Structure 1
Amino acid sequence: MSDFCGLLTSQREAVPLKSIEVEVEVRDHVATVVSTLHYENKEDKPIEAVFVFPLPGDAAVCHFSAKIGQTQIVAEVKEKQQACEEYDDALSSGQQAFLLEESEQSPDIFTLSVGSLPPGESASIRLEYVTELAVQADDGLRFCLPAVLNPRYQPQGSDGASVQVTSVPASLVPYSLSFSARVSSPRPVCKIESSCSLDPLQYLNTEQTQATVKLAEGHKFNRDVELLIYYKDAHQPTAVVEAGQASAEPGTLMGDPVVMLSLYPEFPQSVTSSLASCGEFVFLIDRSGSMDCSINNIMHQETRIGSARDTLLLLLKSLPMGCYFNIYSFGSNYEHIFPNSVEYNQKTMAKALKKVEEMDADLGGTEILEPLKHIYSCPIIPNHPRQLFVFTDGEVSNTKEVIDLVKQNSGSHRCFSFGIGEGASSALITGMAKEGGGHAQFITGTDRMQPKVMQSLRYSLQPSVKDISVTWDLPQGVSVTDLSPPITALFHGQRSLIYAQLTGESSEAAEGSVTLKYTLAGHPSQNQLHFSLKPTEDTGLTLHRLGARSLIRSLEINFEGQQNEGVERKVVELSVQSGVSSSLTAFIVVNKDSSEPIKGPLLYIVDNPASCINANCGLFDISDDYSRSSKIGRTVNKKVKSVFSRIGSYLKLSRRASSERKEMSQCSAASIKPEETLKDPLLQLVSLQEAHGCWLLDPMLAAALGKTSKELENRKPSTVNQEVWATILALIWLHGFKMDMKEEWELLALKAVSWLRAQNAPCVAECVEAGNALLGCEVQKDLVGL
């Protein structure tokens, strides 16, 4: 199969898609995103174009409309099979039609079919979705407009076909992007940051609770557009009520008010400094071919697998003595260093590090499901809670199946997930962490993997918020229905948004309240929040749609793979009523004014636009398969195939072989490595630390500190043994030269300090003074922790 760049015509000219406009409205913790896509058919015959594009994994698509000429048509949400049949019927009869549907394998991939666009005709597509903003480790809220859709590896034996895409230079992208965001919150907006160039932040009021920001001129849409939003008093819980839709029936989800509670507990210093010395730590590393890419798709940068190796070194050095651990790696198959998790000591750590040094991106595809099954089949170690750390670039098609497996085992472990590089599936990364009760992090652009991962390790060693309860105090005549699953625990850095429907009216009271209670490290906490039962009208129904999405996702996950007509019917009803997308429904638009029959063959064009800069497009004349009198043929044995299956049948992809070849070759240009690389000085020093926390006084330590063995020996106070002296020198070097990277080495330094205290070594102050003189530092004893 030939590879094409962008969406091309038969004369290799661009392209129905002309431009993309994106407007974002952020209200506190949630965002409404409106994208307008402009198309023009420059062919001399009608076309059908299929665009495959990514959205955030927890997004709720809630509006879809098309404007052809002066005619505006708003889409309806219908059961998927019915929508697909109406789409095919429309094209067969010569009508224009548009179909938007969610992938059956992953909720963060959508396809938009633009059907029967006549020669010379233009069309504008308006797509709107709402999404929660993820909390970052530094309390910022992350909004991401995905710009990259990587190939999704198709596991052996799975149904459907995947669309293969290949990297395209930004200069070849034939469409433009405009992007602006408006932010409002009850609390002041402190700052907004981005990996992309932004125009200066503009405040709209003196309280600084409203602000706008735009992308700077000249932005190339070749990477995700990421905003990090920081509010004052980020940990203050809130309760926000949204009025129901005036035209909807009272008593229904859309007709009643919906309340959103935000719970983001603050962990005091006394808790964050308390680290557990037990646990089973399982690290699952992606070694598929795509891990040979650089993190930010820039040549000569560190590869994803290289960064993962360095991160594993820091992790293994930072684990507490007496815990248990194991390392799994996966590609087309999987490997593990030990048959079962082993106790952490010098011998097991050394064996694991030797294996880590040999790891490369050489295992082919991305079969993450089987190693997860093996991990969950291993017996739990008493008094050592399991903590699973998953590292992947997130390019799999069976996302829902993976998330469902994590959910089934959520009672036995916590899952911390890390999406590496542009295009990592947000549905997979956030879904695993959410269902596994952990924390999700994304490593993109110039981000370093190590500080984010070490932060999550620290979270995993700290106590969690438990005994969470939500108690409503509502006037007589008003009742509450939960739309979100109950919260069992929250960990440092986690926030939970809770949605509930308020039904009924009170003739007297216009206010209700809710009490949030929880326990942290044995200390109870309580917050009472008051809210209006008669909120302001016309708030956009953002909370209603997110509440509906939360309920739909819970139903889909709880009954994944099971035939349950009652649940499926409820999902379809909720989706249709709220106008929110689901795996069982689709948006359909038919322009019934365009009734002239199609003349000649209909060109079938496939693209991954991006929002998708990574594009592999084909132009196919399908006149043999598609004509005025025949449908494309979605129905097989009365079951409708999705657009993905249809695309796959035209491209005739070999699911496994093609995926593996693509993963192994797609990043060859981006992963050029020098023959020899010098180890980072920090990692060189870290690699020499013993499992119990000390360093040995030897030539390798001297070289890492930039000194000779003789210099280290001559400066050693006579009453101190070699290991104590070496360990104090290493701590002084870390504090003196690497304070900007403290998050990466802080845990292993704490372990070293604990070891030193256990030695009851004399003359520590003398050692620190001598160490400062030797290394040219001015580190105080108390700063080291001694």
Structure 2
Amino acid sequence: MVNCGLLTGLNEPVPLKSISVEVRVQDHVASVSSTLQYVNEEQRPLEALFVFPLPADAAVCHFSAKIGEQEIVAELQDKETARDQYDDAVSSGQQAFLLEESAESPDVFKLSVGCLSPGQNAAVTIIYVTELAVQADQSLRFCLPAVLNPRYTPAGSGAGIVSEISSVCGAVPYTLTLSVHVSSPKPISKLESNCTLDPLVFLHSDHTQATVNLSPGHMFDRDVELSLYYQDTHQPSAVVEAGAATAPSDSLMRNPVVMISLYPEFPEEVATPSEFVFVMDRSGSMDRMMHRGNETQNRIESAKDTLLLLLKSLPMGCYFNIYGFGSRFESFFPQSVEYNQDKMDQALKKVKEMRADMGGTEILQPLKHIYSQPCIHEHPRQLFIFTDGEVGNTKEVLDLVKSHAYSHRCFSFGIGEGASTSLITGLAREGSGHAQFITGSERMQPKVMESLRFALQPPVSNISVKWKLPEGVTAETVSPPINVLFQGQRTLIYAQLKGKTLEGSEGSVTVKYNLNGQPVTNQLHFCIKPTEETGLVVHRLAARTLIRSLEQEERSSAERKNLRRTIVELSVQAGVSSVHTAFIGINKDTKQIVKGPLQQRRVPTYGICFDLVSLPAAGRLRGSFPPLAGRLRGSSPPQARQRLLGCLLSGAGDWELLKCASVKGALPHLNYSSEDDADYEVDAQGSEDMPVLCARRKQDYSSEDDADYEVDEQGSEEESVSNRLPLRKAAPELQQDLVLPLVSLQKASGCWELDAALAAVFGKTENELTNQKPAQVDGSVWATLLALIWLYGWRKEQQVEWQFVAQKAAAWIASQKVGDLSQCVCVGNVLLGCQVTKDTLGI
């Protein structure tokens, strides 16, 4: 197998041999210990680099290395000091280990293993703690990121983390073992995963503790996701954790810390009509498949289906617009337009024409343009952002969203494996919205509809948190102020308890807010007695929360030096990583003479191959080049050539080598816009600069796609493509789902027309529907009633997807004042083979 991304050429041995992960889940939080086993199989000292993802909100709290029987525990220090110590140690022949967080994205870490002697083993252990996100079905989601895609860095910015990321196609040359231990005060109902697991083993009869292991053979071609279900998981809870006796007096780590999990309860009402802005990633990577299974769409097609469902689900009286972005951006309308039949039809036509043809993932500029548009009076702005989340300027994007949080809510969707958790969760956090991840075989539509349900909830205002504690005890809230609440969603609050805590005494926290002008109060009582021996998990998560707030404040403050000092002090004291600190470990007992520079090896992480199309033997390429755009993000030509060659020769995935050529002229960055792509000459003799390896995914392109590529061997103005090689189809046809065809026929008002297209969805003829129509209703009412009966009778399990379509339909029927519809429902049931009651339809 040939690995992509190694610094010194192909076919070099990779020193990482195995990763062993132990996860301990305690109620709503998890502690994760990963041990990475390195072996230097070469005849010279070696330095290994491993760039890998972690969850965005993870707090790295331990880093150590074991060489033989000797364990080296790393210290957390100022990052610049740690780097200097690492360089000095390696240059003097000492074994050294450095773990640092990326400055551009807090969900990417770089591990440097320095000066491994020939034949030597090193076991590196990283421990982090993280919160578990609550999903729409009330499960708790744990994700072990395994896929790290290259992050697009906008032109003109620094190299960022792009040059550090190494990806490989197919199986990586190291193995993964994973064991999970779950404990909770609530009984565990079940545990599900996108990967194959061994059977769940309960350790107690009350089902409050259980273990499970990942089955052998995981190929690192996807993130490992676990969904944990507790009984009554949505109940409010509190954990009070004792501090460390050795920490400085009155510090965050010394005093007890309380973590409150609240689930606000308030009536669900339809909010004031909003302005909905849908922002769709149309970069080249959106042309990839949703997952690696047999029956799957590519991402852009799934996104188009989702936009159809969203447009049909919008309430009358709202405003909307749709943006597409890549290296550039465009909007369907110059500004948001009022939702009606004409504008919906115009938008749907444009949705059908959408392609993943806009280059790299540059999300900053479209957001700036959206924020420059004036808000519509009494129509709160709701942003829905869809992306595979591969950007290198995450913090700049999040700062922009936060600076406009007063005017909008932001709902974000990470599509596919390797989406940046930092970007997706950060957009929702800073934009007072909700984040969703669509991975594996999950469908996009249910998760998007869940977020639409949140967006239609009225905004909550004047949120306040008040503590009631025994005399002499105070609570200092560590979490940032709460700026958003959604019905049924968890809200976490961290607070440091100061003063003399009384054993067994009780405290309470009260969250007050206004909903539609009415005051609402939620309260939780809890015991103040601290829980011992919890590993300081709650303290470290609280410290991580505070560090993140300080880092964001630092980026927009004139007092950066003082804030940086505060962040470093808190990071070192809490033992939690930050952007300004790094873990450094040095084996001072080992020193050897190093002759010449160390050989450097980059350890590959799994990534998706790059989608290039074939170039003709000679001539010019005109027009946009969507499959190439945004794929080789920021790579220099030799790195791009090497990475692609490894992907091709490994035979991974649905890829084929077509032919070789070369491109005249330098290609400093392969992040093309349509203007950049216009005139690159191709020489079959390879006489100029770099050889270009031409490949493509084995799938069909339609004639519409082919029309985008104008190639002529003589370089004349325009001719159709004549020498494109035939493409082979890779995936079977998807089994058609009739919900979307039915929804696509609905009018903006909520009704359906009685016609042949509707009859075809039901497997009937138009005459069959017309002949059975009761005399007291007209054709549109009858058609709309049948559509509702069919949805509730045959697609009840997909109700989360069509719930708003059905609500509009029921409201439209009610507005027609037909009278008693019971007989119509009975006739409709017989016609469609259903047993649905009138009350079920919500009319």
Please name the residue that 2:817 is paired with. 760
SS of 1:766's equivalent in the other structure is helix
Please name the residue that 2:764 is paired with. 707
Please name the residue that 1:641 is paired with. none
What is the RMSD computed on CA atoms of the aligned residues?
2.7
Structure 1: distance between partners of 2:283 and 2:202:
45
Structure 2: distance between partners of 1:435 and 1:488:
9
Question: 1:69-113 deviations in whole A, cap 9, x for unaligned?
Answer: 222111111111111111111111111111111111100000000
Which has the higher relative contact order, 1 or 2, with Cα contacts under 8 A spaced 6 or more apart? 1
Please name the residue that 1:657 is paired with. 670
Q: Is residue 2:570 matched to residue 1:545?
A: no
Q: Is residue 2:516 matched to residue 1:516?
A: no
Question: 1:753 corresponds to which letter in structure 2?
Answer: A
> Shift in Å at residue 180 of structure 1?
0.9
> Shift in Å at residue 450 of structure 1?
0.4
- Which has the larger displacement, 647-656 or 467-476? 647-656
> Shift in Å at residue 717 of structure 1?
2.2
Q: Is residue 2:607 matched to residue 1:594?
A: no
**Residue 394 of structure 2 contacts residue 423 of structure 2 at CA under 8 Å; is this kept in 1?**
yes
| Superposed counterparts of 1:266-281, under 5 Å | 266=265, 271-272=267-268, 274-276=269-271, 278-281=273-276
Question: 2:534 corresponds to which letter in structure 1?
Answer: T
Please name the residue that 1:308 is paired with. 303
Please name the residue that 1:404 is paired with. 399
**Residue 277 of structure 1 contacts residue 320 of structure 1 at CA under 8 Å; is this kept in 2?**
no
Q: Is residue 2:442 matched to residue 1:450?
A: no
- Which has the larger displacement, 646-655 or 131-140? 646-655
Q: 1:262 to 1:465 in 2, by over 3 A?
A: farther
Structure 2: distance between partners of 1:669 and 1:490:
46
Count of paired positions: 745
Question: 1:592 corresponds to which letter in structure 2?
Answer: K
> Shift in Å at residue 718 of structure 1?
2.8
Q: Is residue 2:385 matched to residue 1:390?
A: yes
Question: 1:42 corresponds to which letter in structure 2?
Answer: E
Structure 1: distance between partners of 2:359 and 2:19:
35
SS of 1:784's equivalent in the other structure is coil
Please name the residue that 2:725 is paired with. none
Q: Is residue 2:636 matched to residue 1:579?
A: no
Question: 1:223 corresponds to which letter in structure 2?
Answer: R
Q: Is residue 2:353 matched to residue 1:296?
A: no
SS of 1:689's equivalent in the other structure is coil
Question: 1:704 corresponds to which letter in structure 2?
Answer: V
Question: 1:668 corresponds to which letter in structure 2?
Answer: R
Please name the residue that 1:608 is paired with. 604
Q: 1:500 to 1:102 in 2, by over 3 A?
A: same
TM-score (norm 2): 0.84
> Shift in Å at residue 275 of structure 1?
2.2
| Superposed counterparts of 1:248-287, under 5 Å | 248-266=247-265, 271-272=267-268, 274-276=269-271, 278-287=273-282
**Residue 235 of structure 1 contacts residue 266 of structure 1 at CA under 8 Å; is this kept in 2?**
no
> Shift in Å at residue 764 of structure 1?
2.3
| Superposed counterparts of 1:201-220, under 5 Å | 201-220=200-219
Please name the residue that 2:329 is paired with. 334
Structure 1: distance between partners of 2:2 and 2:12:
15
| Superposed counterparts of 1:470-509, under 5 Å | 470-505=465-500
Q: Runs of 5+ in structure 2 lacking a partner? A: 611-632, 642-666, 678-692, 701-728
SS of 2:486's equivalent in the other structure is coil
**Residue 100 of structure 1 contacts residue 113 of structure 1 at CA under 8 Å; is this kept in 2?**
yes
Structure 1: distance between partners of 2:804 and 2:251:
51
Structure 2: distance between partners of 1:615 and 1:353:
32
Please name the residue that 1:127 is paired with. 126
Structure 1: distance between partners of 2:35 and 2:635:
24
Please name the residue that 1:138 is paired with. 137
SS of 1:781's equivalent in the other structure is coil
Please name the residue that 1:690 is paired with. 747
SS of 1:233's equivalent in the other structure is coil
Question: 2:483 corresponds to which letter in structure 1?
Answer: T
**Residue 688 of structure 1 contacts residue 701 of structure 1 at CA under 8 Å; is this kept in 2?**
yes
Question: 1:418 corresponds to which letter in structure 2?
Answer: F
> Shift in Å at residue 136 of structure 1?
0.3
- Which has the larger displacement, 651-660 or 313-322? 651-660
Structure 2: distance between partners of 1:292 and 1:526:
45
- Which has the larger displacement, 764-773 or 237-246? 764-773
Question: 1:692-735 deviations in whole A, cap 9, x for unaligned?
Answer: 00111222222222222222222222332111111112112212
Question: 1:180-222 deviations in whole A, cap 9, x for unaligned?
Answer: 1111122222221111122222222233222222112333332
**Residue 543 of structure 2 contacts residue 574 of structure 2 at CA under 8 Å; is this kept in 1?**
yes
Q: 1:227 to 1:346 in 2, by over 3 A?
A: same
> Shift in Å at residue 679 of structure 1?
5.7
> Shift in Å at residue 597 of structure 1?
2.1
Q: 1:74 to 1:647 in 2, by over 3 A?
A: farther
> Shift in Å at residue 232 of structure 1?
1.9
Question: 1:633-692 deviations in whole A, cap 9, x for unaligned?
Answer: xxxxxxxxxxxx99989959977415889xx99983589577987863221111111000
Please name the residue that 2:827 is paired with. 770
**Residue 235 of structure 1 contacts residue 265 of structure 1 at CA under 8 Å; is this kept in 2?**
no
**Residue 237 of structure 2 contacts residue 260 of structure 2 at CA under 8 Å; is this kept in 1?**
yes
Please name the residue that 1:363 is paired with. 358
Q: 1:69 to 1:299 in 2, by over 3 A?
A: same
SS of 1:428's equivalent in the other structure is helix
**Residue 634 of structure 2 contacts residue 670 of structure 2 at CA under 8 Å; is this kept in 1?**
no
Question: 1:335 corresponds to which letter in structure 2?
Answer: E
Question: 1:316-355 deviations in whole A, cap 9, x for unaligned?
Answer: 0010001111111100101101111111000111111111
Question: 1:544-577 deviations in whole A, cap 9, x for unaligned?
Answer: 1111100010011123255511111111111111
**Residue 277 of structure 2 contacts residue 381 of structure 2 at CA under 8 Å; is this kept in 1?**
yes
Please name the residue that 1:436 is paired with. 431
Q: 1:100 to 1:529 in 2, by over 3 A?
A: same
Structure 1: distance between partners of 2:361 and 2:816:
47
Q: 1:166 to 1:589 in 2, by over 3 A?
A: closer
Structure 2: distance between partners of 1:614 and 1:593:
42
TM-score (norm 1): 0.90
Structure 2: distance between partners of 1:240 and 1:204:
23
| Superposed counterparts of 1:23-38, under 5 Å | 23-38=22-37
Structure 2: distance between partners of 1:678 and 1:84:
55
Structure 1: distance between partners of 2:248 and 2:669:
50
Please name the residue that 2:70 is paired with. 71
**Residue 154 of structure 1 contacts residue 659 of structure 1 at CA under 8 Å; is this kept in 2?**
no
1:743 to 800, 804, 807: 800
Please name the residue that 1:642 is paired with. none
